[in-house]
Amino acid sequence: MITGATSGFGKAIAENYSSLGYRTIITGRRSERLLELAEKLGAKDKKCYPLSFDVRNRSEVEQVISSLPEEWKNIDILVNNAGLALGKETIENGDPENWDGMLDTNVKGLLYVTRMVIPSLKKSKQGHIVNIGSIAGTEVYIGGNVYCASKHAVNAISKALRMELLPYAIRVSQIRPGLADTEFSLVRYKGDEEKAAMTYQGYEALMAEDIARATTFITESPQHVCINDLEITPTAQASAHYLHKN
Protein backbone atom coordinates (compact mmCIF):
# COMPACT_ATOMS: atom_id res chain seq x y z
CA MET A 1 0.00 0.00 0.00
CA ILE A 2 1.39 3.34 -1.06
CA THR A 3 -0.28 6.50 0.25
CA GLY A 4 -0.21 9.64 -1.89
CA ALA A 5 0.21 7.84 -5.21
CA THR A 6 -1.49 10.45 -7.39
CA SER A 7 1.78 12.28 -8.04
CA GLY A 8 5.48 12.60 -7.23
CA PHE A 9 7.23 9.96 -5.11
CA GLY A 10 4.09 7.91 -4.44
CA LYS A 11 3.23 7.52 -8.10
CA ALA A 12 6.82 6.55 -9.00
CA ILE A 13 6.99 4.13 -6.07
CA ALA A 14 3.74 2.45 -7.16
CA GLU A 15 4.93 2.24 -10.77
CA ASN A 16 8.26 0.77 -9.70
CA TYR A 17 6.69 -1.88 -7.44
CA SER A 18 4.22 -2.72 -10.17
CA SER A 19 7.00 -3.15 -12.75
CA LEU A 20 8.66 -5.61 -10.35
CA GLY A 21 5.49 -7.71 -10.19
CA TYR A 22 4.02 -6.52 -6.89
CA ARG A 23 0.28 -6.02 -6.42
CA THR A 24 -0.28 -2.45 -5.30
CA ILE A 25 -2.94 -0.61 -3.33
CA ILE A 26 -2.67 3.04 -4.29
CA THR A 27 -4.25 5.93 -2.39
CA GLY A 28 -4.81 9.67 -2.66
CA ARG A 29 -7.65 12.19 -2.74
CA ARG A 30 -7.71 12.93 -6.48
CA SER A 31 -9.75 9.94 -7.59
CA GLU A 32 -9.55 10.66 -11.31
CA ARG A 33 -5.74 10.47 -11.26
CA LEU A 34 -5.90 7.45 -9.01
CA LEU A 35 -8.20 5.56 -11.36
CA GLU A 36 -6.00 6.44 -14.33
CA LEU A 37 -2.92 5.06 -12.56
CA ALA A 38 -4.82 2.00 -11.34
CA GLU A 39 -5.81 1.20 -14.90
CA LYS A 40 -2.19 1.57 -16.03
CA LEU A 41 -0.99 -0.71 -13.21
CA GLY A 42 -3.46 -3.47 -14.05
CA ALA A 43 -6.59 -2.90 -11.97
CA LYS A 44 -8.56 -5.02 -14.42
CA ASP A 45 -6.30 -8.01 -13.73
CA LYS A 46 -6.43 -7.41 -9.95
CA LYS A 47 -2.85 -6.18 -9.89
CA CYS A 48 -3.75 -2.76 -8.54
CA TYR A 49 -6.46 -1.48 -6.22
CA PRO A 50 -7.25 2.24 -5.98
CA LEU A 51 -8.47 3.55 -2.65
CA SER A 52 -9.47 7.20 -2.59
CA PHE A 53 -9.51 8.85 0.82
CA ASP A 54 -8.15 11.78 2.80
CA VAL A 55 -5.57 10.64 5.36
CA ARG A 56 -6.69 13.51 7.64
CA ASN A 57 -10.15 12.01 8.05
CA ARG A 58 -9.80 9.36 10.76
CA SER A 59 -13.21 7.74 10.36
CA GLU A 60 -12.77 7.60 6.57
CA VAL A 61 -9.32 5.99 6.97
CA GLU A 62 -10.76 3.42 9.38
CA GLN A 63 -13.75 2.70 7.17
CA VAL A 64 -11.91 2.29 3.84
CA ILE A 65 -9.03 0.21 5.19
CA SER A 66 -11.22 -2.09 7.26
CA SER A 67 -13.51 -2.72 4.31
CA LEU A 68 -10.81 -3.73 1.85
CA PRO A 69 -11.92 -6.77 -0.19
CA GLU A 70 -10.63 -10.12 1.10
CA GLU A 71 -8.01 -10.51 -1.66
CA TRP A 72 -6.52 -7.09 -0.78
CA LYS A 73 -6.54 -7.37 3.02
CA ASN A 74 -3.07 -8.88 3.42
CA ILE A 75 -0.72 -5.93 3.22
CA ASP A 76 3.01 -6.71 3.51
CA ILE A 77 4.48 -3.30 2.80
CA LEU A 78 3.11 0.10 3.78
CA VAL A 79 4.74 3.18 2.27
CA ASN A 80 3.59 6.23 4.23
CA ASN A 81 4.27 8.87 1.62
CA ALA A 82 1.20 11.19 1.56
CA GLY A 83 2.30 14.59 2.81
CA LEU A 84 2.81 18.20 2.00
CA ALA A 85 4.25 21.57 2.94
CA LEU A 86 1.99 24.62 2.97
CA GLY A 87 3.66 28.04 2.88
CA LYS A 88 7.13 29.14 3.94
CA GLU A 89 6.42 32.06 6.26
CA THR A 90 7.88 32.75 9.67
CA ILE A 91 5.76 31.63 12.61
CA GLU A 92 4.81 35.25 13.30
CA ASN A 93 3.45 35.62 9.76
CA GLY A 94 2.26 32.03 9.39
CA ASP A 95 -1.27 30.87 8.65
CA PRO A 96 -2.64 28.52 11.33
CA GLU A 97 -4.75 26.82 8.65
CA ASN A 98 -1.49 25.80 6.95
CA TRP A 99 -0.13 24.49 10.25
CA ASP A 100 -3.25 22.38 10.77
CA GLY A 101 -2.99 21.08 7.19
CA MET A 102 0.62 19.96 7.62
CA LEU A 103 0.26 18.46 11.08
CA ASP A 104 -3.05 16.75 10.25
CA THR A 105 -1.63 15.22 7.05
CA ASN A 106 2.03 14.51 7.77
CA VAL A 107 1.69 13.40 11.38
CA LYS A 108 -1.88 12.45 12.27
CA GLY A 109 -2.71 11.05 8.82
CA LEU A 110 0.38 8.84 8.92
CA LEU A 111 -0.64 7.59 12.37
CA TYR A 112 -4.25 6.89 11.34
CA VAL A 113 -3.16 4.82 8.32
CA THR A 114 -0.36 3.00 10.15
CA ARG A 115 -2.60 1.99 13.05
CA MET A 116 -5.07 0.40 10.66
CA VAL A 117 -2.43 -1.52 8.67
CA ILE A 118 -0.33 -2.87 11.58
CA PRO A 119 -2.62 -5.90 12.22
CA SER A 120 -2.06 -7.04 8.63
CA LEU A 121 1.71 -6.44 8.85
CA LYS A 122 1.77 -8.54 12.02
CA LYS A 123 0.23 -11.47 10.16
CA SER A 124 2.69 -11.14 7.32
CA LYS A 125 6.05 -12.82 7.72
CA GLN A 126 7.69 -9.91 5.92
CA GLY A 127 5.95 -6.78 7.21
CA HIS A 128 7.67 -3.52 6.36
CA ILE A 129 6.78 0.13 6.92
CA VAL A 130 8.63 2.77 4.93
CA ASN A 131 7.96 6.31 6.11
CA ILE A 132 8.83 9.17 3.80
CA GLY A 133 10.38 11.75 6.10
CA SER A 134 12.66 14.53 4.91
CA ILE A 135 15.96 16.21 5.64
CA ALA A 136 13.50 18.62 7.28
CA GLY A 137 13.00 15.84 9.83
CA THR A 138 16.48 16.33 11.23
CA GLU A 139 17.21 19.93 10.21
CA VAL A 140 15.35 23.23 10.44
CA TYR A 141 15.38 26.20 8.06
CA ILE A 142 13.75 29.62 8.11
CA GLY A 143 10.13 29.38 7.04
CA GLY A 144 10.24 25.58 7.43
CA ASN A 145 9.13 25.73 11.09
CA VAL A 146 5.92 23.67 11.18
CA TYR A 147 6.77 21.53 8.14
CA CYS A 148 10.09 20.69 9.82
CA ALA A 149 8.25 19.97 13.08
CA SER A 150 5.91 17.58 11.24
CA LYS A 151 8.85 15.71 9.69
CA HIS A 152 10.71 15.66 13.02
CA ALA A 153 7.57 13.92 14.30
CA VAL A 154 7.80 11.38 11.45
CA ASN A 155 11.40 10.75 12.52
CA ALA A 156 10.32 10.12 16.13
CA ILE A 157 7.33 8.00 15.10
CA SER A 158 9.55 5.87 12.83
CA LYS A 159 11.93 5.15 15.74
CA ALA A 160 9.03 4.41 18.10
CA LEU A 161 7.40 2.03 15.61
CA ARG A 162 10.69 0.18 15.11
CA MET A 163 10.87 -0.52 18.85
CA GLU A 164 7.21 -1.41 19.22
CA LEU A 165 7.13 -3.76 16.23
CA LEU A 166 10.41 -5.52 16.99
CA PRO A 167 8.69 -8.61 18.47
CA TYR A 168 6.78 -9.08 15.20
CA ALA A 169 9.84 -8.79 12.91
CA ILE A 170 8.21 -5.87 11.16
CA ARG A 171 10.89 -3.69 9.63
CA VAL A 172 10.49 0.07 9.91
CA SER A 173 12.53 2.30 7.63
CA GLN A 174 12.59 5.98 6.96
CA ILE A 175 13.74 7.76 3.80
CA ARG A 176 14.68 11.41 4.25
CA PRO A 177 14.96 13.09 0.84
CA GLY A 178 16.31 16.53 0.14
CA LEU A 179 15.12 18.71 -2.74
CA ALA A 180 13.12 16.71 -5.26
CA ASP A 181 11.30 17.97 -8.32
CA THR A 182 7.69 16.86 -7.81
CA GLU A 183 4.45 18.77 -7.27
CA PHE A 184 5.67 19.47 -3.72
CA SER A 185 6.61 23.13 -4.34
CA LEU A 186 3.53 23.79 -6.45
CA VAL A 187 1.46 22.70 -3.44
CA ARG A 188 3.66 24.60 -0.96
CA TYR A 189 3.32 27.84 -2.96
CA LYS A 190 -0.39 27.29 -3.63
CA GLY A 191 -0.15 26.89 -7.41
CA ASP A 192 2.45 29.64 -8.05
CA GLU A 193 4.23 27.88 -10.94
CA GLU A 194 7.04 30.42 -11.24
CA LYS A 195 7.97 30.20 -7.57
CA ALA A 196 7.73 26.42 -7.65
CA ALA A 197 9.96 26.16 -10.73
CA MET A 198 12.58 28.46 -9.17
CA THR A 199 13.08 25.95 -6.35
CA TYR A 200 14.63 23.52 -8.83
CA GLN A 201 16.61 25.90 -11.03
CA GLY A 202 20.43 25.99 -11.28
CA TYR A 203 21.12 22.41 -10.15
CA GLU A 204 19.90 18.89 -10.77
CA ALA A 205 17.21 18.08 -8.22
CA LEU A 206 16.23 14.55 -7.18
CA MET A 207 13.54 12.92 -9.31
CA ALA A 208 10.64 10.86 -7.99
CA GLU A 209 12.20 7.76 -9.59
CA ASP A 210 15.30 8.16 -7.38
CA ILE A 211 13.16 7.75 -4.28
CA ALA A 212 11.21 4.88 -5.87
CA ARG A 213 14.47 3.01 -6.49
CA ALA A 214 15.58 3.59 -2.90
CA THR A 215 12.24 2.33 -1.58
CA THR A 216 12.44 -1.00 -3.38
CA PHE A 217 16.13 -1.31 -2.47
CA ILE A 218 15.11 -1.01 1.19
CA THR A 219 12.21 -3.46 1.09
CA GLU A 220 14.01 -5.97 -1.13
CA SER A 221 17.02 -6.15 1.21
CA PRO A 222 17.28 -9.57 2.93
CA GLN A 223 14.76 -10.11 5.72
CA HIS A 224 17.45 -9.89 8.44
CA VAL A 225 18.55 -6.44 7.18
CA CYS A 226 16.68 -3.31 8.21
CA ILE A 227 17.76 -0.04 6.64
CA ASN A 228 16.59 2.24 9.40
CA ASP A 229 17.25 5.62 7.93
CA LEU A 230 18.30 6.73 4.48
CA GLU A 231 19.05 10.38 3.76
CA ILE A 232 19.22 11.17 0.05
CA THR A 233 20.01 14.59 -1.40
CA PRO A 234 20.84 15.85 -4.87
CA THR A 235 24.62 15.85 -5.39
CA ALA A 236 24.37 19.65 -5.37
CA GLN A 237 22.90 19.68 -1.85
CA ALA A 238 24.92 19.02 1.32
CA SER A 239 22.26 19.97 3.87
CA ALA A 240 19.10 22.05 4.16
CA HIS A 241 21.40 25.10 4.12
CA TYR A 242 24.05 24.22 1.55
CA LEU A 243 22.87 24.04 -2.03
CA HIS A 244 25.33 24.68 -4.86
CA LYS A 245 23.52 26.43 -7.71
CA ASN A 246 25.20 27.19 -11.03
Residues contributing to the site for ligand 8X3 (CB under 6 A): 134-136, 144, 178-179, 240
Which residues from 6-25 bind ligand NDP, rule CB under 6 A? 6-10
Supply the minimum distance, in Å, between the C-beta of residue 66 and ligand 8X3: 31
17 is catalytic: no
56 makes contact with ligand NDP (CB under 6 A): yes
**DSSP per-residue letters across 108-119:** IIHHHHHHHHHH
Given ligand NDP, ligand 8X3, none, residue 127, with its beta carbon under 5 to 8 Å by kind, binds none
Which residues from 126-155 bind ligand NDP, rule CB under 6 A? 132, 134
Whole-angstrom distance, CA of residue 154 vs CA of residue 79 = 13
Closest by CA to 161, choosing from 53, 80, 221, is 80
Supply the minimum distance, in Å, between the C-beta of residue 175 and ligand 8X3: 11
Whole-angstrom distance, CA of residue 200 vs CA of residue 179 = 8
Whole-angstrom distance, CA of residue 40 vs CA of residue 18 = 10
Q: Which of 49, 112, 147, 189 is catalytic?
A: 147
215 makes contact with ligand NDP (CB under 6 A): no
Chain length of the chain: 246
C-alpha separations of 166 from 46, 194, 200, 206 in Å: 32, 46, 39, 32
Supply the minimum distance, in Å, between the C-beta of residue 144 and ligand 8X3: 6
Catalytic positions, please? 147
